[in-house]
Each structure stands twice: as C-alpha cells, then as structure tokens.
Structure 1
Amino acid sequence: MVNILIVEDEIDTQSYIKHIVESSLNNAVVYTAFNHQEALEVSDKNHLDLVLLDMELDGTDILGLDVYKSIESRHKNIDTIVITGHSDYLRQATGIEPFYYMMKPINEVFLKRKLKEWVYVKENVDNETLIIKQSTGIKVIPLKNIYYIEKIGRKVHVVTKSKVYEYSSSIRAIMKDLDDRFYQSHQSFIVNTNKVNTVDKDYERARLISFFDFEKTVPLSRYKYEGFIDMFK
C-alpha cells in the first residue's frame, strides 16, 4: 500500500489527477489538498510516500516548493512529481530533486507511465543498485559494476565496463544514492574504490586513478588525496 497526496488548487485538474492515480495503482490511498494548510494537515495525520505537486497554489506567493519542503521535513524518503503550467517554476524546483517534472496540460498516458516507474523504483531500490531515470525509462545498475561517475555539463555519465549511462543529475544528488565504497575524487568525479588499482604521480596538479582491467583513468584532486588514501587503505 502506498499513500499519495495530490496538491492542486484547481478542482477539475485535481479530480483528473486523482482519477489517473487510482486507475494506475491498485494499492494507492489517495489524499487531496487545495492549498498549503490542507496539505500540511494531511501530512501531519498520515504517512506519505509520494506527493503530486502543483507549483503555484492559492493565487498567492506560496509555491508548491514551499509546501513540499514542509512535508519533506515530516516524512523520510518521500518522493514528489512536480506538475506546473509555467516552465519558469521548474528552475525553482531544482532545490527538491523531484522524481519527475511534468508540464501541464497533463498527458494521462505519460503520467500513468511515470507513476508505474515510481512504484518500480520504490519496490526495487536497495543498497546494491543505482536507479536512474532516462528518457527511455528506468535503468537499474548494480553498484559493483560501476567504475566511476563523471559530471559533464548538465549530464552525468555512469561508467561500467560495457556501457555508459547518461542522465540528468548532480554529483551531490548521486552521492546520496551510493554506499561507502564510493568516493568523490574530484569535483566532477566519483570512483568506486573497490575497482581502484593504483594512484599515479602528480599530473597537472592532480593525480590519476587507474582501475583493475579497465583502460580509462580519472583525476584525484590534490585536495582529496589524503582523504582518499585514508579511505583506500
């Protein structure tokens, strides 16, 4: 059983989203709120797993972002799908790292797909996998297969021996999903220390990390060197 809160101030849209959720998930208990106060009342009385969140509420300056931050402080491991009719609000939503951003008008088929993906992630996530969201769907990557992770522009590359997985995220966000075998060796790199073979000498103010049975190398910042060596030991 999963508990889902819909925060939406337009009654027709709220009813439509509720219909989509209930027709998609047989095991969902659905709560609704029109505004900030109602959302917090539901949050205080019930355990919540997912919030479907309109970014603009009440016709005031209160944003769904503020509502979510209040709810998040009350519930551990809660997720959100951000729904908005204004693309400008998506930039403000970056502070909450939602499961997905969705623009209005809502596409029923697409929202159903994202809800099922969310359930899949919730049921399959464990300490031994990294689950990423790509445009083609959800990918589950065993942590033991990852050599390193690199941030390139707005994308993150998860590098295994046979494949590179690209998706939108940040180094900070990914570190939350990894265990203690992983170390941020540089501002743009995370390495799996179980795969590390050697650390080479200085190279342009950084050292180079090489891996077992893998040709590529990654930099180790001189500011990260001592912490890495202590961990690597």
Structure 2
Amino acid sequence: MLEVFVCEDDTEQRKRLTTYIENYIMMENLDMKVVISTGNSNDIIQYLKENRVTGLYFLDVDLQEEQSGIALGAEIRQYDNQGSIVFVTTHSELTYLTFTYKVEAMDYITKDKFTDIQKRVIDCIDTANQRYLQNRHSNKKIFQTKTGDKVISVDYSDILFFETSPQLHKIFLHATNRQVEFYGKLKDILEMDSRFYRCHNSYVVNKDNIAEVDMKKREIRMINGQICYASSRFLKGLKDIVQH
C-alpha cells in the first residue's frame, strides 16, 4: 500500500487538502491511505523511524516551526528514498531551496487563485501510484534494513556478500558501492533470496556476483575484486555453483 502524508499547519487548508486526497482514493479504489495529516513535522518523522514506508508526501513549504517544509523533505529522504514529495506553497520563489537541500520533488503546487489545487493533487496521486505499482512489479528487488535511525535500501543485484561483525549480533553488508553494518543473523539472510549461499560460518555470498573461486586458498573473488572467504565444509557446494 502507498501511504500518504500531509503536513500543513493551517487547519482549514490541511482539512481541504486531506479531503481532496481521501475522496479521490475512495472514488478510484486505490491501494492508498492517508496515514498522517498533521501540522507537526515530528509526527511524520517519528512514524518513518518506526515503519518502513514508501510514501507520497504533501508538504507545506512555510511551516510555522523551526524547520521549513523543504528541510522536512530532506529529512524524509533519509528514511524513504523511493517516496514522492510534493510541496504546497504560497512562496513559489522558494522552490530553489529544493536544490540546496537536494530534495527531488515531484511537483510544486502554488496556493493561489489561479491554480486548480484539487486537479494538481489528483495528478500527483495518479503519478505516484503509477510509479509505486511499476516499482512493486518490476524485477528489481530491494534489500532494506535499518541502521541507527536511517533505512538503507540496496538492490539485491548490487549485494556482494554478508559478513558477521566483531560486534555482537551485527552483520556487515558488502555491496558494489557501499558497506553497511546492521543488526541481524546470517541464517535469516539465507532465507531471503535463492541467490544467497552460506560459504562460511561467517559469510553469506551472492552467487550472481562471484567472479572466480580459488579452491586452494578458499577465496572467493567478487566482480569488483573484493574477497570473500569460504570454509572447506562449504567448498564443494561452491564448486558446483561456479561450474554451473
């Protein structure tokens, strides 16, 4: 389900915007829901800290609190990098700040008498829903985990191997362009995808990203040159994988 969030500190405008959204969702029977409609940005951030979300966010730029709606959008990106952000504003001249904060916005809806706000809101809902359905049905599979207060997303195709961390109950994820440490167990990782193979008590490797295996040294060279290790116990299974 695509979750929808509204952050607008003007009560009447927030009610109107939320009504536009909820009515259209109901009329079109969309797999969407307004989960938070608030004047306080902390309500949204707290929810994102506690839940994995792909969202559609309607944010007032000129929030009457410490951070602007654009700063809120930047913070949202730390938890939901796949979501769609729409800024609703009376200050169209402030849209340049989205580049300063590096927030990718779907749209800017200006609150003036010349703008058909309801139509623009509906257009944004349609676009966000289409993107959500395309991503959900695509072959690209995303591995997500929490590290601290951030949700990290990595394409399965970019994962090289997992390694137990010296820190108790933690795992290192080695990807083609990053390394992430998070709480988890290798046995749980194994069950996530058929590409993953237990090559050592301390390692789970992505079979698709193996470049070669040195049977004597019990070393697995990955496609980017990184080395993962195998134990003699798991070598035979590894040999079968490479030969196939």
TM value normalised by structure 2? 0.47
TM value normalised by structure 1? 0.49
- Higher helix proportion (structure 1 or 2): 2
Report which of the two structures shows the higher radius of gyration computed on alpha carbons: 2
